[in-house]
Chain A
Amino acid sequence: MSTSGRAGIPGGLVAAGLLAPAALLFAVLFVWPQLGLFLQSVSQPAPFGVAQYQRFLGDSYYMGVLVNSLALGVCVTLVTLILGFPMAFLLARMESRWAGLLLLLTTFPLWVSAVVRSFAWMVLFFRSGVASRMLQGTGLVPHDFQLIGTFTGVVIALAQVLLPIMILTLYAVIRGIDRDLEHAAMNLGASPAVAMWLVTLRLARGGVLAGSLLVFSLSVSAFATPSLVGGARAHFMAVTIYEQTLELLDWPFAAAIAAILLAISLVVAFSYGKLLGDARSEVR
């Protein structure tokens, strides 16, 4: 490439110089600590053992935490998908000049810290908050009922926090679908609904899966929203890791739980990368 030459510095040296700061940062503060985390998680019984993992997997309380987090991931993914798909479809197909503004409004919550957005839900969810009072008004729940500290409350809040990400993912995919294919299906006699089902949804399938995996991964490992809206008894993975690290100072155990969470994220990330690759080759 046109890199060496007139300045007299070999290209390889320039590349190494440009990469050096990032390489140093990642070697010392990413690779080493992640490796350290893993080694710490398998340090007992010394010198190498999986006692911490056995402790997690053998304890019904911690297994409950894992199941709870996975269930949260599934519920939040479903809610964001059901609300996000029609919204993304509308935004992608709108030809009005308002479409840009609406897309901007949809993504606005992403500019605000998750702490602030979770606090907003706390205001709605506490005993005399609007949402809790409305539920109390139906008579289906006791009159001192509050949504704070409930699984449902965490799902509602976290789905709102992650919905813009789902909409953005789906929006990009739906924008990329050739509308002529839909028109062609209708010309061949399909009703708009059938054309939508046969063409658009099929082509958006990769995006739906990619968005779902992304939201699922973020939900399973979410911390701020589950810990604030879920209250003191929030049994979720990230909250448990926080307690073990900063409150109980049981670092080998915290490392093992973190490694389990990491493994879940990596599996999801690899399927995401593979799906995205498949989706791209499919569109081509």
Chain B
Amino acid sequence: MAVLTFLYLLGPLFVIVAASFSDTGYLTFPPQGLSLRWYRAALADARYLNGFFVSLKLGGTVAALSLLIGTAAAVALTRFSFPGRAFIEALFLSPLVLPGLVLAVALTLFFAANPVVPPGMPRLIVSHLLVGVPLVLRVMLPVLRRVDRSIEEAAQNLGASPFLAFILVTLPFLRPGLFAALALAFIFSFDEVEMALFLGSARDAPLTVVLYGAAQMQMDPTVAAVSSLLILLALLMMVAQQLYAQR
């Protein structure tokens, strides 16, 4: 039973990687022949390459900004008490339980009436922040609540300002949490398709949007090659994350 479940979970990913090496003009599994021609085709296609760099830039920007905004908010929510704190925390976390598509539609209608953010990349970035910030909060709130405050207070008693004590004493403890939050926000933004489809411009189409369009058109082996490269990238990221966590 467990073996079959594993096969069901991972089999399709294996199939797509295997099919991408097929030396046929159409997608087939098991693959026939062995060739890298679809990888050459994928790398020669400007749409995929451009999409990859757009996604990288988008994911990187969203991850960095989410980490800054989210961690600052998490510190405020865990270190200070003020009226409405529980409500603000619930509000900031709520995009995680709402369908991405509803966020995308609401933002599309909103930007059409109020173009407060320039179209293209800036719109993609701010809309991804709506999920990136809650992801960072979900990681950082429990981490910050677990931190032992007594060491920080000791540093303050020895003359450090509250800010310096936080930077010197608490921040090193937060590093694994910060790394996890950064990775989570990056992967979300890099893999997200709904908001990207609604809010991106044709010129700034992230890789997921290019793939979505290509997958709808036809069973193109180039899509399988790009998908396989993305699976490889995900594998590398997972291994890197594990190595970091076990250090």
Contacts and interface: CB of A to CB of B under 8 A. Distances in A.
Interface of A: 1-3, 5-7, 11-12, 14-16, 18-19, 21-23, 25-26, 28-34, 36-37, 40, 83-84, 86-87, 90, 104-106, 108-109, 111-124, 126, 128-130, 160, 163-164, 217, 220-221, 223-224, 227-228, 238, 241-242, 245-246, 251, 254-255, 258, 261-262, 265-266, 269, 272
Contacts of A104: 238, 242
B243 interface: no
B244 interface: no
A7 B227 CA distance: 53
Given A21-B72, A37-B106, A29 B127 contact: yes
B121 to A, nearest CB: 15
A258 B29 contact: no
13 contacts: A7-B161, A21-B72, A36-B110, A36-B113, A109-B10, A111-B238, A123-B12, A123-B15, A123-B19, A164-B9, A217-B99, A223-B193, A238-B101
Given A6-B162, A108-B234, A15 B80 contact: yes
Nearest to B227: A116
A217 B79 CA distance: 33
Interface in B176-224: 187, 190-194, 197-198, 208, 211-212, 215-216, 219, 223-224
B76 A19 contact: yes
Contact of A109 (B9, B28, B98, B187): B9
A15 B110 CA distance: 29
A109 to B, nearest CB: 6
Interface in B8-38: 8-10, 12-13, 15-16, 19, 27-29
Interface residues on B, range: 35 or more
Given A29-B130, A109-B9, A119-B211, A258 B219 contact: no
A108 B162 contact: no
Contact of A163 (B8, B68, B73, B105): B8
Q: Binding site of B, secondary structure by majority: helix, strand, loop or mixed?
A: helix
Given A37-B109, A119-B224, A22 B92 contact: yes
B107 A29 contact: yes
A2 B153 contact: yes
B10, B82, B91, B110, most chain A CB atoms within 10 A? B110
Given A3-B162, A21-B73, A272-B97, 15 more contacts: A3-B80, A6-B156, A18-B76, A21-B69, A29-B126, A29-B129, A40-B109, A113-B191, A115-B212, A117-B13, A119-B16, A129-B29, A163-B8, A223-B101, A261-B99
A171 to B, nearest CB: 13
B161 A6 contact: yes
B109 A36 contact: yes
Contacts of B77: 19
Given A2-B162, A112-B231, A106 B98 contact: no
B246 to A, nearest CB: 10
A113 B208 contact: yes
B133, B162, B187, most chain A CB atoms within 10 A? B162
B90 to A, nearest CB: 9
B101 to A, nearest CB: 5
A114 B73 CA distance: 30
Contacts of B88: 19, 23
A30 B70 CA distance: 15
A174 B224 CA distance: 37
B46 interface: no
B235 interface: yes
